[in-house]
A and B are shown apart, each in its own frame.
Chain A
Amino acid sequence: EADIYQTPRYLVIGTGKKITLECSQTMGHDKMYWYQQDPGMELHLIHYSYGVNSTEKGDLSSESTVSRIRTEHFPLTLESARPSHTSQYLCASSESRQGGYQPQHFGDGTRLSIL
Chain B
Amino acid sequence: QKEVEQNSGPLSVPEGAIASLNCTYSDRVSQSFFWYRQYSGKSPELIMSIYSNGDKEDGRFTAQLNKASQYVSLLIRDSQPSDSATYLCAVNHDSGGSNYKLTFGKGTLLTVNP
Residues of A within 8 A of B (CB): 31, 33, 39, 41-43, 45, 48, 50, 58-59, 90, 94, 96, 99-101, 103-109
Partner of B51, one of A100, A105, A107: A100
Residues of B within 8 A of A (CB): 31-32, 34, 41-46, 49, 51, 88, 90, 92, 94, 100-102, 104-107
Cβ–Cβ contact A94 & B43, under 8 A: no
- Complex CA gap A101/B100 in Å reads 7
Cβ–Cβ contact A105 & B100, under 8 A: no
Known pairs A42-B104, A104-B46, A109-B43. 13 more at Cβ < 8 A? A39-B41, A42-B106, A43-B104, A90-B43, A90-B44, A96-B100, A100-B31, A100-B51, A101-B31, A103-B34, A103-B49, A106-B45, A109-B42
Partner of B100, one of A31, A41, A90: A31
Known interface pairs A43-B88, A100-B32, A101-B32; A48-B101 also in contact (CB < 8 Å): yes
24 A-B residue contacts at CB 8 Å? A41-B106, A42-B104, A42-B106, A42-B107, A43-B104, A45-B101, A45-B102, A48-B100, A50-B100, A94-B100, A96-B100, A99-B51, A100-B31, A101-B92, A101-B100, A103-B32, A103-B90, A104-B46, A104-B102, A105-B46, A106-B43, A106-B44, A106-B45, A108-B42
Cβ–Cβ contact A107 & B102, under 8 A: no
Residues of chain A contacted by B44 (CB below 8 angstroms): 43, 90, 106
- Complex CA gap A94/B31 in Å reads 16
Nearest residue, chain A, Cβ from B88: A43
Residues of chain B contacted by A41 (CB below 8 angstroms): 106
- Complex CA gap A40/B20 in Å reads 21
Known interface pairs A42-B104, A100-B31, A101-B31; A107-B92 also in contact (CB < 8 Å): no
- Complex CA gap A31/B90 in Å reads 17
Residues of chain B contacted by A108 (CB below 8 angstroms): 42-43
Nearest residue, chain B, Cβ from A33: B101
